[in-house]
Chains A and B, each alone.
Chain A
Amino acid sequence: METGELLSNLALGFSVAVSLQNLFWCLMGAIIGTAIGVLPGVGPVATMALLLPATYFLPAEGALIMLAGIYYGAQYGGSTTAILVNLPGEASSVVTCLDGYQMARQGRAGPALAIAAIGSFFAGTVATVAIAVAAPPLTRLAQQFAPADYFSLMTLGLVFAIVLARGSIIKALGMVFLGMLLGLVGTDVNTGNTRFTFDIGDLFDGIGFVPLVMGVFGIAEIMANLTNSERRDLVSSKVSGLMPTKEDLKRSIAPILRGTFLGGLLGILPGGGAVLASFSAYTVEKKLSRTPEKFGTGMIEGVAGPESANNAAAQTSFIPMLTLGIPSNAVMAMMIGGMMIHGIVPGPQVMEQKPGLFWGMIVSMWFGNLMLVVLNLPLIGIWVRMLLVPYRLLAVAILFFCCIGVYSLNNSANEVLIIAFFGVVGYLFMKLDCEPAPLLMGFLLGPMMEVYMRRAMLLSRGDPLVFVQRPLSLSFLLIACLLLLFIVLPNVRKAREVAFSE
């Protein structure tokens, strides 16, 4: 029954994903994703925010397939830059620099790139199946959720976002509260009262997610990058001999398997995702290695593990979004934004009401991964050439795309002013070493939590004990408390600091 269901679901997804139109959008997503992955300073979040308005003109399936492609495509592209230029194209490929670039300097860029691609492809394939297996039971579970359960689950999500954020926990906590407050700006849907709008008409609908993200990530990023003068040491020798040796392959199998498993697991956690996965995988490989002192001198294990892990995590982070409608990171919030544009309310009902879209998107991820292997290995020369575009020009282009992207949302020039404001705010956050990811989580989940809190209170006739009387809700809250207690323990805190400082 279970396997039969799985197969018929995948068959349905296959039939949607294989249509010429959807294959095209999948390819577009993969290409755009690789391109922005290769370029340092342009991330998937800002790119997806930019393209969000344009997806309005596409069919829903095509739009979501393309947006998903950008995310996992960026993981592939990021590793290329890390290996060849010693610059992480994405935050998730920071650790790939360590051994990947050393391999490139020894003339072994080809095998490093090939192992990164093979590992990513394997991880992507496994993660696709994992999503397909995990989605139906989780969806069924989610359908039994009462408002109180949702509220507590989101509380847990925010606690995860705090625990998994880099840097100070207190700052992350403050950023969550700040984000929730920002999320409340606008008209209160339940009562019709306005909050924190300062009588500015454009704020009555609240602060848009896209202008906020573009400001904090896009504009602030340009300001920071223009400050640092760039230095790129491109490995000048041609990438020759892509094929890894038998020895390379043999050494990579176990790291790829471990990376896939670890990444897949960490990807599901809210606030986790690809960055955490690649860091943890590197640490694990180093711990398990018989020659840990050789890490950092061109060990292929140090490329295979993290690269598999970040791709697996990028994909399994779709699970909470698809089944519960809860974004586990900023990228998933953009996916939700993409769904909303097409009038789809994310949540457990999507799988039942739009099975074609749901399964089509999942199966398209596998196609996307296949395309990426094909795209990345032979075309590596083209991607490397892209790095020759200097940042001084890229900055100008990115700024323009941010402006026009936000403007095109509602043809509103005032929303462009909002990104100017949040650009400065984002820069301030960088200077204060406050990570914006928890802020974004609070901004997204805050208003949702208020809705569920009110529903729960209404159903319980004003009895706040409802949150601890339902077993599901109680267990979410207990896990959240345990996590918070756990993280305050001194030795756990020390371990966390070590893990994040690579």
Chain B
Amino acid sequence: MRIKSGQDLLTGLLFIVVGGAGLWIGADYPMGTAQRPGTGVLPYILSWCLIGTGGLLWIKAMLAEGPGLTGWAWRPIIMITLATIAFALLIDQGGLVVAMLVSMTLAALGTPETRWREYTVFAVIMIVIAIAMFIKGLGMPIPIWPTQSADWIASGLELLRGR
């Protein structure tokens, strides 16, 4: 049979895979009694509902003409995801300035429209605002500069500041 909507097919697949995983992982959750329903009751019901919905979508994908799949814009997806991950990895040890610089630059790489001179000015302004707002203003316990566990960077920065 011909597939008439790639979009419906993939959505159905997503629902079935997640539902199946829910059943598989939730297989040993206790069901309890009718009076005291256990941990496993709702996961079991919902997983089956999700699989059923996915099945319906598969039938629909075979019967009804619908939209196909369109291409993904990989550049923004990858760069924005990397930018978010970089922020998460750097914020505790690297401090606000390093985390912001790395993640914002990665994000700027996500679009060919970035103009680097404009971006540099903007990034500096953002960092100044962020320090003023979140660390000085709201008193969030984030280091501005890298902490001791990354002291080679810190000592480099100290040198730069002329100490």
Give Cα distance in the complex from A168 to B66, angstroms.
11
Contact A223/B35 with A196-B26, A397-B126, A404-B134 known, Cβ cut-off 8 Å: no
B119 at interface, CB cutoff 8 A:
yes
8 Å CB contact of A427 from B49, B60, B77, B142? B77
Chain B residues with Cβ under 8 A from A414's Cβ? 88
Which B-chain residue is minimally distant from A424 (CB atoms)?
A: B81
Give Cα distance in the complex from A402 to B130, angstroms.
13
Give Cα distance in the complex from A195 to B46, angstroms.
13
Among B78-112, those with CB < 8 Å from A are: 80-81, 83-85, 87-89, 91-92, 100, 103-104, 107-108, 110-111
Among A170-188, those with CB < 8 Å from B are: 170-171, 173-174, 177-178, 180-181, 184, 188
Chain B residues with Cβ under 8 A from A408's Cβ? 134, 138, 140
B14 at interface, CB cutoff 8 A:
yes
How many Å from the CB of A317 to the closest CB on chain B? 27
Count of residues in B whose CB is under 8 Å from the partner chain? 70
Which A-chain residue is minimally distant from B42 (CB atoms)?
A: A450
Which A-chain residue is minimally distant from B48 (CB atoms)?
A: A177
Task: Assess whether A195 is in contact with B43, with CB atoms less than 8 Å apart.
Answer: yes
A276 at interface, CB cutoff 8 A:
no
Task: Assess whether B53 is in contact with A170, with CB atoms less than 8 Å apart.
Answer: yes
A241 at interface, CB cutoff 8 A:
no
Task: Assess whether B39 is in contact with A432, with CB atoms less than 8 Å apart.
Answer: no
| Contact-size category for A | 35 or more
Give Cα distance in the complex from A465 to B88, angstroms.
49
Task: Assess whether A174 is in contact with B50, with CB atoms less than 8 Å apart.
Answer: yes
A245 at interface, CB cutoff 8 A:
no
Task: Assess whether B36 is in contact with A227, with CB atoms less than 8 Å apart.
Answer: no
Which B-chain residue is minimally distant from A463 (CB atoms)?
A: B34
Which A-chain residue is minimally distant from B53 (CB atoms)?
A: A174
Give B20-35 as 1s and 0s: 1 = Cβ < 8 Å from A's Cβ atoms.
Answer: 0010011001101111
Task: Assess whether A395 is in contact with B110, with CB atoms less than 8 Å apart.
Answer: yes
Contact A54/B138 with A174-B15, A191-B39, A397-B126 known, Cβ cut-off 8 Å: yes
Secondary structure class of chain B's binding surface, majority of residues: helix
Task: Assess whether A181 is in contact with B88, with CB atoms less than 8 Å apart.
Answer: no
Chain B residues with Cβ under 8 A from A461's Cβ? 35
Among A384-419, those with CB < 8 Å from B are: 390, 392-393, 395-397, 399-400, 402-404, 407-408, 411, 413-414, 416-417, 419
Chain A residues with Cβ under 8 A from B138's Cβ? 54, 57, 408
Task: Assess whether B84 is in contact with A399, with CB atoms less than 8 Å apart.
Answer: yes
A433 at interface, CB cutoff 8 A:
yes
Which A-chain residue is minimally distant from B59 (CB atoms)?
A: A170
Chain B residues with Cβ under 8 A from A292's Cβ? none
How many Å from the CB of A11 to the closest CB on chain B? 35
8 Å CB contact of B29 from A193, A392, A431, A450? A193
Task: Assess whether A184 is in contact with B46, with CB atoms less than 8 Å apart.
Answer: yes
Task: Assess whether A195 is in contact with B130, with CB atoms less than 8 Å apart.
Answer: no
8 Å CB contact of B43 from A184, A222, A420? A184
Chain B residues with Cβ under 8 A from A168's Cβ? 8
Give A225-262 as 1s and 0s: 1 = Cβ < 8 Å from B's Cβ atoms.
Answer: 01101000000000000000000000000000000000
Chain A residues with Cβ under 8 A from B147's Cβ? none
A453 at interface, CB cutoff 8 A:
yes
Task: Assess whether A407 is in contact with B84, with CB atoms less than 8 Å apart.
Answer: no
Chain B residues with Cβ under 8 A from A188's Cβ? 39
Chain B residues with Cβ under 8 A from A159's Cβ? none
B162 at interface, CB cutoff 8 A:
no
Chain B residues with Cβ under 8 A from A411's Cβ? 140-142
Which of A174, A181, A193 has the most C-beta atoms of chain B within 10 angstroms of its own C-beta? A174
How many Å from the CB of A303 to the closest CB on chain B? 32
Q: List 23 A-B contacts (CB under 8 A).
A: A193-B29, A193-B39, A226-B73, A226-B110, A227-B76, A392-B113, A393-B118, A399-B84, A400-B100, A403-B88, A403-B91, A404-B134, A407-B87, A407-B142, A411-B141, A417-B85, A423-B81, A427-B77, A431-B69, A432-B11, A434-B11, A453-B42, A462-B33
Q: Which 8 A-B pairs have the closest CB atoms?
A: A462-B34, A462-B35, A416-B88, A227-B73, A420-B84, A226-B76, A174-B53, A403-B87
A-B contact sample (13 more), CB < 8 A, given A181-B43, A222-B76, A416-B91: A177-B19, A180-B46, A181-B47, A184-B46, A191-B38, A193-B29, A226-B76, A226-B80, A399-B80, A400-B103, A408-B134, A413-B88, A433-B11
